[in-house]
Amino acid sequence: MKSLRMLAVCLLVVTMCQGCAQNPGKGNNQPEAKTQKISQAGPIQRDRLPNGTPELQGGPEGHVRKPHPMSLADLHHKYPTYYVLNGPQSKRQVALTFDDAPDAVFTPQVLDALKQAGVKATFFVVGNRAEAHPDIMARIVREGHVVGNHSYSHSNLPKLSDLKFRSEVTRTDEIIRNYTGYLPTLFRPPYGNTDENQILWLASRDKRIVGWNVDSLDWKGLNADQVSTNVLGHILPGAIILQHAAGGQGEDLSGTVAAIPRIVKSLKSDGVEFVTVEDLLNLNKNAKENIRAGSKQ
């Protein structure tokens, strides 16, 4: 009888041990609770770095947090002296500006309209076009308009090397000086595109990078009513108005030409004075001469 009892006890012990092996922690409430918490936390991270550290599931910082170039508004706020979008709002003055000149079709028409309206404007000229149309370039200067640099070939400047970018500027500077007798103070990047390093270089030469705060959108081939509405509907004192006196292949700027007398008449009747960008920015004669002297060095 004693032997049978011992045998029964041994069988019970063996059975309990097998249960423990198959269900670790069974019979102990605390380990079981920990196991449940782990399972509720979700699947264990399986992607790991070579050193065994779990990978970042969203990707490395360098892949996600890519640096973004500063916007034009950011650049204006950071360099307000050298990168301007408008003049002071303390006077009822605005400046008409015309890009991409000269050509043999639309630039003469723009000049005719400005002459008839008795208004001086600012022309941002492309160097290779000035070379191609010297007579029209000479007329722009002769009729008292201010000339700014719009690069030599109208390239997208941030995509150029530093050497190429600087060549686009200095080459056009010299072309303009042949007509005006001095290096231009004003520079407008094609498409309005530039970057911080280019602004710093231009600032080192005491140039003013000129943007705009009123866009006629005339390059879309708009008619005179549309161009006039785009300009007059956004005018504020100190406005710099963007228009074009020449275009690319197939672009029609006849709406720009026809809109000039409407814009001038409407604003003049409201007591607004048309000035050049140099006058709008208060670059008086002495200041301009200092800037030009520095640009020649």
Q: List Cα–Cα distances, 23 to 16, 33, 271, in angstroms.
A: 11, 14, 92
Neighbours of 278 (CB within 10 A): 22
Q: List Cα–Cα distances, 174 to 19, 77, 144, 265, in angstroms.
A: 94, 30, 19, 36
Axis crossing angle, helix 162-180 with helix 196-204, rounded to the nearest 10: 40
The residue from 145, 218, 244, 279 that is catalytic is 244
The residue from 76, 99, 100, 173 that is catalytic is 99
Is residue 68 annotated as a catalytic residue, yes or no? no
CB-CB contact of 88 with 213 (8 Å): no
Of 210, 234, 185, which is closest to residue 99 (Cα–Cα)? Answer: 210
Token representation of residue 28: 């102990």
Is residue 206 annotated as a catalytic residue, yes or no? no
H or E element at residue 122: strand 122-125
Q: List Cα–Cα distances, 117 to 110, 165, 268, 271, 284, in angstroms.
A: 11, 37, 10, 15, 24
The residues carrying an active-site annotation are 99, 244
